[in-house]
Amino acid sequence: MTGQGTIQSPRQGWSSPQGAAALAAPSPAGKRRAFDGRALLGFFLPVGIALLWEAAVHFGLAQGRLVPPPSRIAATLWALARTGELWTHASATLWRILAGFVIGAGAGIAVGALSGSSETLRRVLDPTLQALRAIPSIAWVPLFILWLGIFEASKVALIAVGVFFPVYLGIAGAILSVDRKLVEVGRVFRLSRAKLARRILLPAVLPEAVIALRSGLGLGFMFVVAAEFMGASEGLGYLLVDGQQMGKPDQILAAIIAFALLGKAADSLLVFGTRPLVRWQDVARERL
């Protein structure tokens, strides 16, 4: 952390949103800094293990039937990509996540805003939502299949439920934790309720809202797998199940890698897209 970040946090009591912003928008200062060779150290372990295993299989020390060597996984991934199969599956999965995320996050933001800004509504809504949250979301699967059928609707619904709760909690919590002293500044300048929301509450909750959306998106990726296990004819989750039933561990690992790449890409896209909103919070800080 450089001196800049430390100047005002203790004085203004903004330490938590500031920390929040570090997560919301990983430091752009990294770009300005000279490239740090130590970052490469992180590659040492995975690449080393992959090379060792590759060598072990290559020289016949291991069969690599259940744990295929990296080269075979890459070949499988390449084959899937070449036939276009990978894109079919990936786009099916991404579409489900997108639909579920939009519905779940939209509802989470709306309900979170209501519950965060009105004490009465919070007393009405929050206990029920907390109770629902305690249910493992997978437990909804049979019900969703009965209600919505076995096709897309039930999958999207499951993902939406998974996304909803972290977003709801994050938004409501962010609104509740807005610095009362800044709200008072709004009162001194005689802002109307709408203006207070737009000029003070909204910018104050944005960093935490971005984090809420990011954890919602992460859960979206988690639940899409569960949803596709429910019975799908396409999607990366289908590739996983198919790989298990056909005894093709390379296909399972290829699908897992595709998941990892897509998940990271979607998260980066979200961070990148929301960065202008939280630019003021860019804290020069070591990235984890």
Partner 1 sequence: MLNLSHLSKTYADGTRALTDINLSVRESEIVALIGGSGCGKTTLLRLIAGLDRASAGAIRLDGETIHEPHPAVGIVFQEPRLLPWLTVADNVAFGLDHLDRNERKARVAHALEKIGLAEHGTRWPRDLSGGQQQRVAIARAFVMHPKVLLLDEPFSALDAFTRASLHEHLLGLWEETRPTVVLVTHDVQEAVTLADRAIIMQPKPGRIFDELPLALARPRDRAALPFESAVRRVLAALDQSLNPVQASPQRERDREAAALWW
- Looking at 59-67, 94-102, 160-168, 188-196, which segment touches partner 1 (CB under 8 A)? 188-196
- Looking at 90-98, 105-113, 198-206, 239-247, which segment touches partner 1 (CB under 8 A)? 198-206
247 three-class SS: coil
Residue with smaller CB distance to partner 1, 190 or 287: 190
**Are the beta carbons of 142 and 121 closer than 8 angstroms?**
no
Contacts (Cβ under 8 Å, ≥6 apart) of 266:
94, 97, 217, 221
E-assigned strand segments in 107-224: none
Residue with smaller CB distance to partner 1, 3 or 60: 3
Q: Work out how close the CB of 80 gets to partner 1 at its nearest, in angstroms, rounded to a whole number.
A: 45
Q: Using the rule CB under 8 A, is 274 a contact of partner 1?
A: no
Question: How many angstroms separate the CA atoms of 69 and 50, rounded?
Answer: 7
**Are the beta carbons of 213 and 167 closer than 8 angstroms?**
yes
- Looking at 130-138, 152-160, 165-173, 200-208, which segment touches partner 1 (CB under 8 A)? 200-208
Q: Using the rule CB under 8 A, is 7 a contact of partner 1?
A: yes
Number of residues interacting with partner 1: please give it, by CB under 8 A.
24
Q: Using the rule CB under 8 A, is 1 a contact of partner 1?
A: no
Q: Which of 1, 2, 4, 246 binds partner 1 (CB under 8 A)?
A: 4
Contacts (Cβ under 8 Å, ≥6 apart) of 174:
116, 204, 205, 208, 209, 212
Convert residues 140-179 into a mask of x (bound to partner 1 by CB under 8 A) and - (unbound). ----------------------------------------
E-assigned strand segments in the chain: none
**Distances, alpha carbon 248 to alpha carbons 58, 160, 170, 190, in Å:** 19, 31, 40, 66
| Site for partner 1, rule CB under 8 A | 4-5, 7-9, 11-14, 181-182, 184-185, 187-190, 199-200, 203-204, 206, 280-281
